[in-house]
Chain A
Amino acid sequence: MLDFIIYPLANVLLLLYNYLGNQTVLAIAALTVLTRLLILPLTLSQQRSARKMQELQPEIEKLRDKYGDDQEKLAQKQMELWREAGVNPAGGCLPLVIQLPIMIALYRAIIFCVPSTPLQLFQFAGHIRVDQWLPSLVGLVPLQNTFLGMDLGQPPSPAQWWSYSLPILVFATSWLQQKLLSPSSATGDGGSQAEMMSQQMQIMMPLMFGFISLQYATGLSIYFIISNLFGMAQYYFIRTNRNGVDEKEVMPKRRPKK
C-alpha cells in the first residue's frame, strides 16, 4: 500500500549509505533528518495550531466559567471563538495522520536494506533503482548489519544485552520530547480530567515507542532516537528564534485552583 513511498525511501537510504562511508547508522540518521525536514511544514503547522490554541486558553477558560453548566452552549461558543481566531481544533491531527505513514514507510525501507529475513530481502529485489543511475551502487544491499556488536536487523536480544539500551533511549528521548512539546504543564488546572489524560499520554506515548523498539529491529530504534532529538532541536530552534521570547513565558499562567 505504501510502496510508492517505501521504495524511494529505501533507494535514498542506499545513496546515503554509499556517500556516508558505508555506515548504516549514519545513513539511517541522515535519512531520518531528511524525512523530518521534508515534513517540517507539517510539524510546524501542528505546533502553530497548538500555540494558537494556547493563546486562546484564557478565553476558553472564561467561556467555561460562563457556560460550564450548558455543554452544548459551551461547545458552540468555543467553536465561534476558534472560527473568529482562524483556528481549526482538529488541525493538529492531519499532520499526525500524514506523519505516521511516513514513519511506517521509513521503517519498511530500513528493513528492506537491513533485512532480518530472506523474504524481506527478496521483496526489495528488483526495486533498486539507484544502481541504474550509479552503477557503482550495484550490490550494496544488504547493508552492513552490525553496529557496536548489535544486529540492526534484529530486535534486542539477551545475547546482545547491551542492545536493550536502545529501547531505553527511545523511551527517554520520547518522554523528553513529549515533556517539551506538551504545554499541559504550564496551563490549565492540573486536576481536570483532560489534563490527567494528557499527562497519562505523556507516559503512554513514550512507553508505546519503547515497546515497539523492543519488538522490532534495532535499526528502527536508531530512527526513533534521531527523530526525537530532531524534534527537541526543532523546538529549541523555534523557541530561540521567536524574537528571543521564551515560548513558555507567553503561555498563560496556571489558573489558581478554586
Chain B
Amino acid sequence: MNQVLTKRSLVALAMLTSLLLATSGCAGGARASSWTGLTVVDDTLYVADLQQARAMNATSGETLWTFPRNPEENNQGLFYASPAVSDAEQVFFASQLTTGGFFSQRQSIVWALDVETGEERWRFAGATGMYVEGGALGDGLFVIGNGDGNVYALDRETGALQWTFETGHRVWSTPLIVSDTVYVGSMDRNLYALDLQSGEAKWTFKTDGAFGGKPALSDNTLYVGAFDDTVYAIDAETGEERWRFRGDEWFWGSPAISDGVLYAVDVKGTVYAFDARTGNLNWQKTLVTDQNQPVSVRAGVMRNDDGSRLFVSSESGTLYALDTTAEGFVDWSSPAGGQGLSDPAVNGSLVYQTLIGGTSRVRALEIDRGREAWSFPPPEEG
C-alpha cells in the first residue's frame, strides 16, 4: 500500500518539478517579459536592447556606445522601455534587475546617461514594479510610470524624486507632457491630467477599460485608445469627452494624428482612420498575413513626415506600410523573425523596428520600398 502511495507521490513530485523547471526560466537564458523600444534623434538611434542601452548611427547601424559595456561582467538588468532624450544631452533608459533567490528585491532602475559617451550621470531605483514604456521630459523633469502603480517625476539633472502620483493599478504607458500638464493612462481605467510641478491631479477621465498607450494631442484634444475596445477624444483642458468610437477589440498602442485624421490600430490588426474633429470613420483596414491569417498588434501606429504612410508592426514581426491616401492599401510588408511589439520610429527615409526573440533585434527599412537597409546584429553575426 505504502509503496503504491509512494509511487503516486513520486509521480506528483516529478510532475511538479517538471512544471517548475518548465515555467521558472531555469532552462537558462534571459527571457523577455516585455518589449524593447527605440527613439531616434538627430540621426542617432537610442535602443533599449534588452541587455544593454545602445546608441547607434541611424543611417549605417553602427554602434556608437553601449551601457553597460559588458553586461556579462556588469549586469544592469534588462532594458525594455523606449528611451527619452533631453536637450541637456542626457538620454534616459529604464531597466529591470532581478538578482534571484527567494528574498531578493526586484530592482527597477531609471538611468540617465550621457548622450555622447553613454556614461552614467545618475540612477533612480525607488520604484518596485516594472517599467514597460518610456518616460517623458518637460520643464526640468523626467516623468515615468511604473508597474507599482505610481507615476514618478525626477529632476532630470540630479535624479532626485520630485513627486509621485499613485494610481489604482499598473502604469504601463508613456506619459504625454504638454506645457504644465502630464497626461498619463493607468490600468486602473483612468486617464489622469497631472500638474507637472506638483503632481496633483487636475482632472480624471474614467472609462471601462485600462489604458496602455500614450495619448496623442491635436487642437487641444487628446486621443487615446483603451481596453474597452474604444477610442476616446477628450478635451485636454477640462477632461470632457468629445467623442468616442467603439471597435471590436482592445486598443493598446498609441494613435497617430496627421492633417486632421486620427489613426489607431486594435490588437487584432484593424487600422482605423477617423475624422479627428467628429470621430467619423473615414476607412478601416484589417491587416492579414500572406496566408490571409489574422495578425496581432500590440504596437501603436507611426506615420511618416508628410502623413502619407502609416507603419504598423505586428506581433509576428512583420512591418506593414499602409498608404493613407488609398484607404490603407498595403504598399509593402516586410516579415522578420521574432516579435515586433514596440512602436516603430521614422527618421527621414528610414523606418526602424525593434524585435525580441529573433535573430535581429533592430532593423532599418527604406520607407518607399521596404527594403532592409541594415539590421543589428548583422545576419552573419546573428
With A142-B169, A157-B105 in contact, is A192–B2 under 8 Å at CB?
Answer: yes
Closest partner residue, chain B, to A178 (CB atom): B9
Q: Are B9 and A138 in contact (CB under 8 A)?
A: no
**Chain A proximity of B37: nearest CB distance (Å):** 12
Q: Are B10 and A201 in contact (CB under 8 A)?
A: yes
**Chain A proximity of B130: nearest CB distance (Å):** 7
Q: Are A60 and B1 in contact (CB under 8 A)?
A: yes
Q: Are A139 and B189 in contact (CB under 8 A)?
A: yes
Q: Which residues of chain B are near A145, meaning CB under 8 Å?
A: 169-170
CA separation between A110 and B246, bound complex, in Å?
Answer: 27
- Interface residue? B331 (CB, 8 A): no
Q: Are B6 and A158 in contact (CB under 8 A)?
A: no
CA separation between A126 and B9, bound complex, in Å?
Answer: 38
- Contact string against B for A residues 106-143, beta-carbon threshold 8 Å, 1 for contact and 0 otherwise: 00000000001111101001100000000000110110
Q: Are B4 and A117 in contact (CB under 8 A)?
A: no
- Interface residue? B32 (CB, 8 A): yes
Closest partner residue, chain A, to B339 (CB atom): A119
Q: Which residues of chain B are near A205, meaning CB under 8 Å?
A: 9, 12-13, 16
Q: Are B210 and A188 in contact (CB under 8 A)?
A: no
Closest partner residue, chain A, to B250 (CB atom): A125
CA separation between A119 and B252, bound complex, in Å?
Answer: 12
Q: Which residues of chain A are near B209, meaning CB under 8 Å?
A: 138-139
Q: Are A157 and B106 in contact (CB under 8 A)?
A: yes
With A100-B16, A119-B33 in contact, is A157–B250 under 8 Å at CB?
Answer: no
CA separation between A89 and B1, bound complex, in Å?
Answer: 8
Of B13, B132, B226, which is within 8 A of A118 by CB?
A: B132
- Interface residue? A250 (CB, 8 A): no
Q: Are A122 and B298 in contact (CB under 8 A)?
A: yes
Of B9, B17, B34, B172, which is within 8 A of A201 by CB?
A: B9
With A104-B19, A187-B2 in contact, is A96–B12 under 8 Å at CB?
Answer: yes
Of B11, B24, B172, which is within 8 A of A96 by CB?
A: B11
Q: Are A214 and B102 in contact (CB under 8 A)?
A: yes
Residue with the greatest number of chain A CB neighbours at <10 A, chosen from B1, B208, B212: B1
With A188-B1, A198-B9 in contact, is A119–B229 under 8 Å at CB?
Answer: no
Q: Are B268 and A126 in contact (CB under 8 A)?
A: yes
**Chain A proximity of B98: nearest CB distance (Å):** 10
Q: Are B229 and A138 in contact (CB under 8 A)?
A: yes
CA separation between A53 and B6, bound complex, in Å?
Answer: 13
- Interface residue? B373 (CB, 8 A): no
CA separation between A9 and B271, bound complex, in Å?
Answer: 30
With A204-B13, A205-B13 in contact, is A182–B5 under 8 Å at CB?
Answer: yes
In B28-43, which residues have CB < 8 Å from any A CB? 32-35
Q: Which residues of chain A are near B296, meaning CB under 8 Å?
A: 122, 125-126
Q: Are B132 and A198 in contact (CB under 8 A)?
A: no
Closest partner residue, chain B, to A115 (CB atom): B170
- Contact string against A for B residues 157-174, beta-carbon threshold 8 Å, 1 for contact and 0 otherwise: 000000000001110100
- Interface residue? B3 (CB, 8 A): yes
CA separation between A122 and B297, bound complex, in Å?
Answer: 9
**Chain B proximity of A148: nearest CB distance (Å):** 15
Residue with the greatest number of chain B CB neighbours at <10 A, chosen from A104, A126, A159, A194: A126
- Interface residue? A40 (CB, 8 A): no
Q: Are A96 and B7 in contact (CB under 8 A)?
A: no
Of A97, A125, A154, A157, which is within 8 A of B249 by CB?
A: A125
- Interface residue? A92 (CB, 8 A): yes
Q: Which residues of A contact B (CB under 8 A)?
A: 50, 53-54, 56-57, 60, 89-90, 92-93, 96-97, 100, 104, 116-120, 122, 125-126, 138-139, 141-142, 144-145, 151, 154, 157-159, 182-184, 187-188, 192, 194-195, 197-198, 201, 204-205, 208-209, 211-212, 214-216
Q: Can you report 13 A-B residue pairs in the complex whose CB atoms are below 8 A from each other?
A: A53-B1, A90-B4, A90-B7, A92-B4, A97-B15, A104-B23, A117-B130, A122-B252, A122-B315, A126-B267, A157-B106, A188-B1, A215-B24
- Which 9 A-B residue pairings sit nearest by Cβ, starting from the closest? A139-B209, A139-B228, A117-B33, A201-B9, A194-B2, A139-B208, A125-B267, A194-B3, A197-B6
